[in-house]
Each structure stands twice: as C-alpha cells, then as structure tokens.
Amino acid sequence: MALQPEKRQHIRTLMRLGEGRDACPAEHRDVIRRSWQRCLGEYRLDPCHPRPVRVLTQQALRDHQESVDELLHVARAGVDRLYGQVARLGYALLLTDQRGITVAFRGQSEQDRALRRAGLYLGADWNERHAGTCAVGTCLHDGQAITCHQGEHFDATHIDLTCTAAPITDPQGRVMAVLDISALQSPRSHESQTFALSLVNLHARMIEDAYFLHRYRDSLILRFDSAREFVHLNGRGLIAIEEDGSLIAANHEGRALIDAHLRRWPPWSAACLPGATQLFDAELGDLLGIPAAGEDQIRAFRARANDATCFVTLLEPRGRPRKATTTAAPRDASVPALDRLAGDDPAMHRLLKLARRLRNETVSVLIHGETGTGKEVLARALHDSGPRAQAPFVAVNCAAIPEALIESELFGYLPGAFTGGRPKGMRGLIQQADGGTLFLDEIGDMPLTLQTRLLRVLAEREVMPLGAETPVKVDIRVVTATHRDVTELIRAGDFREDLYYRLNGAELHLPALRERADRHYVIRRVHDELQAERGQSHHLRADAMSALLAHDWPGNIRQLRNALAFAMATAEGDEITLHDLPETCHGAAGPTTLTAPASLGSAPGSASPSTSAGAPPSADGQALLELLRRSAWNISQVARQLGVSRPTVYRRMRRHGLVAPNHQPVS
C-alpha cells in the first residue's frame, strides 16, 4: 500500500537523523528528541518499516491483568469518570501496566475496528522498545506525564494519533501503571491537548491516592493540604504512619514534603526518616488526637520543611474503634482564659503552650507583636489564669503618657512632692499593681532615665515614690510588650541591656493576623464578642466572611474588630454582607495603612504641614498630618480609621514630630 506523502516525509526525517545527516527538527521538544534518539540508537527501530501493532494473546493479557489486579479494582471508578469526560470528544482510554501492556480499555463501540487497527485496544503493547516514541512508552521511560501529538510519534503508523499519558506511581514512588487518553483525529496544534494533559494528570493522581488509601487501609494515615477546605475532600498529601509516629509510606505530595524536610534537616544517617512529629512540629498526642479536634477533625501544624501551615486530618485504620486517640499523650491541661485566644494556628499553639507553663510563675514575660495583635489581651489572660487572678491587673501604656508624667504615674508621689501634684499625693501604678500584674505596653518607648528606676524596682522589689525617703515593698509580676526590635534599641543606646534581660524572662511572639491559620476562628470570636456587647444578632454572610479572611489586616485584630463593629452599626438587616464592610476590606481597595491615604497629603488647599522640628514631614508623616487635620485632631477617630490604637497614633505623631494645635509637642 502506498504511503501518504506526510508519512513518507516523516520517515525521511527519521532516516536522515539516524544516518547522522540532519539534526532533529528544531520544532520538536527535548523529550521527543531524546526518545527518537533512543528508538534509533538503543532499540534499533527502523523508521522505514512501520511495525504492526503488537497485541498479546488472551492468556498473556490475563497474566498481565492479574499482576495489577488490586490496582485495576481500585482504579475502575477513576477510569470510568475520566472516560465519561472525554468520550464525547472522540478519545479512547487506556490503562497500561508498568511494561506498557494495555490492561484496561474504554472506547466507542462504533469506532471499534479503527481503534483496534490503531492499537488502541486491550492487550496492545505500547512499550517504547516496540512501539517507538509514544505517550505511554515515553511516559514509562521518563516517569513524567506527556502528550505525544501526531508527528511526534516515531512510528509512521501512529502519526495520525494524539495521545496523552500520565504515570501512576506506587507508595514507594515507582511507576506501576500509565493512564492514557488517545484520539484517532485531532486538531493540528499541540496546544489543543493542553487540557487533556491536566485532566489525565488529575485522574492519575486520584487513582494513585485511591490505591494508597486502599493499600494502607489498616494503618493510620495523615492526610494534609495547604487549604483547610480541601483536606477531607481532596487533601493532596498522604502519609501512612505507625502508632509511634514513624513513617510507613507516602504519596507523591507526602514524599515531596519528606524530601524538602530532609534537605533542610539532613538526617544523621541516610536510612533515617523523620517521624511525623518532626515533619509537622507536633506532639504525637496532637496528631493522634486529631479525630477529636473541633467540628471538622482538622488541625493546623507547621511543616518544619518550609515553616508553612499544613492542615491535617487523621484517617484511622478500617474497623478500628476510636480508642486510638486514647493512646495519645496527655495534652497540656486546658486553661480557658488562654485557650480561647486561638483556634488551631501552629504558632499560637506553641505560644499558648509556653504561656500555660508560665502562668503560675513570677518570671517576667516580654510579648512581641505588631500593633493590635492582642498583646494586652494575652497579658490579661496570663494574669487571669494564674494565682494572681484575684489581684489587680494594671496596664500602663508607656507611649501614651507624656514623658513628664510617666515618673509620677508609675512611682507615685507624696503630698507636696512637686508643684501641680495632688494635695494628698498619689499611689503610683506600680504600687497599685501590688499582689498582681503590672503590664507595661510599648516598653520600647520608656525614657532611659525611667528605665534605670524601673530596673531598681525589679531588682529590689520595692518602689520609691517621689518625695519619699523610705522605699515601699511591692510584690508584682511584670509583663511587658513591644512591637519594636529591642535589641536594635539597645544597639542604638536607647534601651538598657540589663533591663532587657530582667524583663525578658520569657519571650512570647504574637503572629500578625494575616499569618494566622485560624483567622476563621478569630473572626467568629470577635463577631460573637461584638454581638454579646451590643446585644445584637447579625448573621455573617459568606461573601463578608471570605473578604474578611482574604484581607491583609495591617491593624490586626483591632482593625478587624473595628471593621466588624462598623458593619454591625451600619448593616440594614440582620445580616452582614460584603457591602456592609468598610471599603478597604473589599479586596481591590487594598489595606488601610498609614501610607494608604498618601494622596490626602496633596489634597487641594492643604496648608503646608508643620512639625515640632520645623522640618517638612516625610510622605508618611504628611499623610498622617492630613488625616489628623481632617478629623479635627480627634486621635480616637484617626486610630479607628487606621485600625490602630490611640497610643500608636501618638507614637507615630511623635516619630514624625507632629504637634496638635495649641498643644505641647507629643514627647
């Protein structure tokens, strides 16, 4: 039979390539070029003699099918689902074993003869050694998904076909089968098959995971994903573990996590795999206790490979009662005041675990965190959950009190200690906290002279009020907070190193809201609190919730609270929708930051700004100045607009040297 001109041309190209007379045509991809070289050099296939399709006998086919019996059983649903999606587009479906023999097939009965002739049939051998470059054979060789489109096939018999194949790997990562869809006719362009590649890849992964779940159905399996919503439905990572947390096997995603972990934390010996508690930075009890975790039986952990948050669920062995969780190591005793500060954010979990241990100690605690992250709330929870709960909790914001007043406010004074003081004198805040907790917020803003006095209070456990001659004993626990880098302040000579070590008996770092995996929990909690405070009930609609979840929250929980309070105050019905939220939460508008209203700085008619130093302020300072002017220097209003606290506004005013009309400079 005479060959079509196109086939003749194809054979000529391959012959010239085999004889070393031509390089491979530039339009062909590397993976195809390499395969053609293999066909010519290694397999000694002759392009001039297109080979008939090799089909196994019934008996030989049965032997191949039996060797993958378990996979065929598990893969059936995935095969049918994929075929259901592509049949109308003219594709047939092949599932081959690891030698390239077609062990399952789906195709249109009316195309039966044509499909058989093309080798798209049960028992057909698509190994590259026999069939030349083709999707199944080349995928098997490279272990990668591939489309082999028309003239990319080696054998001229196949150059009308388009075939797309993806490997299915076993839990050890070896290719055990190949899933392929092939069509007898297709558009010329290679791009027409892009969608086929994703579809086949997706189904190959589903079959792979179904096989994994089936194979390890008698073991504990950790299923994880970076999105909480997908964990149960389609969690990408699967890791089978023993009861002691040691690893048994992992799917593709699980192996990627293990590899990344080993790259970052190389093991002592090559044979040593990390345990699940190392991979997820968790205690065994936390992992085994997941089935009892909250409503959705999912917990968030930090993956030590990359510090990313992983949402994890635990699949228990088939038929085994829930007693697995009773083998869990005991969790830290619950402490409601602390426990309710977080959902299942891994960083918050670590922080609260440490806080639970510190609550009964007098050791000083330094809390770090951006503005509005809940430093004061945490300090109060520490106080409320410890033995001092019935004694006072006194909070002092070092940035909000003018420097001239901090000393008398903190240390108190006797009658007549200075002009302008109260006639009866005043008990200082340190004394007021006697028996309880003194919380010093924005400690980085405390003037150096007072740092020395505070150090003495901490060292001697006594305070000397202004004008007094004998010190007064005090029993206080000191908790401090700052958003600043204190070591930097020490380097600049603005903070005493010895005081820092006194204050920093333990350090707690509060993550920003945007970094927290439990944003959903925080939003719900703030919403519930506001409802209780306002005596109102508002349903938070899904569009509002998803905008709140997606927002950046530069002002953290305080800004979130303000946004929700605003929505509750202005919503017309008993439902909060996206449109009830401040515009800054709508997504495109971007977050409210100090620099966001920069355009305000050039508002028409604005007078040239003034600073205490007489110098023009920076762009940030300019923006803040305009905001202050527009709100008639109402600090609370500006704080609300920016989603920060009043002290933060004062601090920023001081940083930019901004002075309210008829006021002394903020010092």
Ligand X SMILES: Nc1ncnc2c1ncn2[C@@H]1O[C@H](COP(=O)(O)OP(=O)(O)OP(=O)(O)O)[C@@H](O)[C@H]1O
Q: Would you tell me which residues interact with ligand X (CB under 6 A)?
A: 341, 369, 371-377, 441, 481, 483, 522, 525-526, 557-558, 561, 644-645, 648
What's the CA gap between 393 and 435, in Å, rounded? 9
Nearer to ligand X, 98 or 371 (CB): 371
Nearer to ligand X, 371 or 408 (CB): 371
Give the residue ranges of DSSP H helices in 216-372: 231-234, 252-264, 276-279, 284-288, 336-339, 346-358
What's the CA gap between 280 and 249, in Å, rounded? 16
SS3 state at 168: strand
| CA-based max dimension of the chain | 120
Nearer to ligand X, 343 or 465 (CB): 343
Q: How far is the CB of 648 from ligand X (least distance, A)?
A: 5
Nearer to ligand X, 277 or 559 (CB): 559
Nearer to ligand X, 149 or 349 (CB): 349
Nearer to ligand X, 153 or 551 (CB): 551
E strand map for 111-256 = 146-149, 162-169, 175-183, 220-225, 237-241, 247-250
Instruction: Read off φ and ψ for residue 66, nearest 5 degrees.
Output: -65, -35
Nearer to ligand X, 56 or 377 (CB): 377
Q: Which two tokens stand for residue 649?
A: 């506004």
Nearer to ligand X, 159 or 400 (CB): 400
What's the CA gap between 357 and 337, in Å, rounded? 13
- Structural contact between residues 520 and 558, judged by C-beta atoms closer than 8 angstroms: no
Q: Which residues, other chains included, contact 419 with Cβ-Cβ below 8 Å and sequence gap of 6+?
A: none
Q: How far is the CB of 578 from ligand X (least distance, A)?
A: 22
Nearer to ligand X, 83 or 439 (CB): 439
Task: Please enumerate, as own/partner, the contacts of 415-419 that have beta carbons within 8 Å and a separation of 24 or more.
Answer: 415/467, 416/467, 417/465, 417/466, 417/467, 418/466, 418/467
Which H/E stretch holds residue 642? helix 635-642
Nearer to ligand X, 75 or 440 (CB): 440
Q: List C-alpha distances in Å: 449 to 195, 385, 397, 407, 477.
A: 70, 33, 17, 9, 22
Looking only at the bridges linking them, the beta strands covering 477-482 and 365-368 are parallel
Q: How far is the CB of 644 from ligand X (least distance, A)?
A: 6
Nearer to ligand X, 96 or 397 (CB): 397
What's the CA gap between 245 and 239, in Å, rounded? 10
Q: How far is the CB of 430 from ligand X (least distance, A)?
A: 20
What's the CA gap between 663 and 32, in Å, rounded? 78
Return the closest-CA partner of residue 94 out of 113, 114, 75, 74: 75
Q: How far is the CB of 343 from ligand X (least distance, A)?
A: 10
Nearer to ligand X, 231 or 352 (CB): 352
Q: How far is the CB of 275 from ligand X (least distance, A)?
A: 32
Return the closest-CA partner of residue 582 out of 571, 596, 597: 571
What's the CA gap between 480 and 365, in Å, rounded? 6
* Position closest to ligand X via CB: 374
Q: How far is the CB of 373 from ligand X (least distance, A)?
A: 5
Q: How far is the CB of 237 from ligand X (least distance, A)?
A: 29
User: Cα 52 to chain center, whole Å?
Assistant: 53
Q: How far is the CB of 529 from ligand X (least distance, A)?
A: 6
- Residue holding tokens 């439990």? 518
Q: How far is the CB of 377 from ligand X (least distance, A)?
A: 4
- Structural contact between residues 643 and 372, judged by C-beta atoms closer than 8 angstroms: yes
Q: How far is the CB of 379 from ligand X (least distance, A)?
A: 8
Q: How far is the CB of 526 from ligand X (least distance, A)?
A: 5
Q: How far is the CB of 89 from ligand X (least distance, A)?
A: 52
Nearer to ligand X, 94 or 300 (CB): 300
SS3 state at 310: strand
What's the CA gap between 312 and 227, in Å, rounded? 10
